[in-house]
């Protein structure tokens, strides 16, 4: 229900920023902990997609 609204009302850049805020914890030392946790249950092709998404997130909001 929410995803179509996000797709219709946010630019691709804003969508990437939003998902970056949800998946990357910039407040802790291990910023990837959630991505690592998600990745452990994914198939290899799904892990590849997650890595590509992470790359897009980092390009939009480089980690400090």
Binning pLDDT at 50, 70 and 90, where does residue 20 land? Answer: very high
User: What's the CA gap between 18 and 10, in Å, rounded?
Assistant: 9
At 62 the pLDDT is 61
At 8 the pLDDT is 93
List C-alpha distances in Å: 41 to 34, 44, 51, 60: 12, 10, 14, 26
Mean pLDDT of 44-63: 90
Closest CA to 61 of 8, 35, 24: 24
- Residues 32-52 have pLDDT tens digits of 999 999 999 999 999 999 999
Average pLDDT, the chain: 91
User: What's the CA gap between 12 and 9, in Å, rounded?
Assistant: 10
């Amino acid at each position: 229900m929410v995803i179509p609204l996000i797709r219709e009302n946010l630019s691709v850049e804003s969508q990437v920023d939003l998902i970056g805020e949800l998946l990357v914890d910039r407040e802790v030392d291990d910023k990837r902990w959630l991505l690592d946790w998600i990745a452990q249950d994914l198939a290899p092709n799904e892990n590849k997609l997650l890595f590509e998404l992470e790359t897009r997130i980092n390009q939009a909001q480089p980690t400090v």
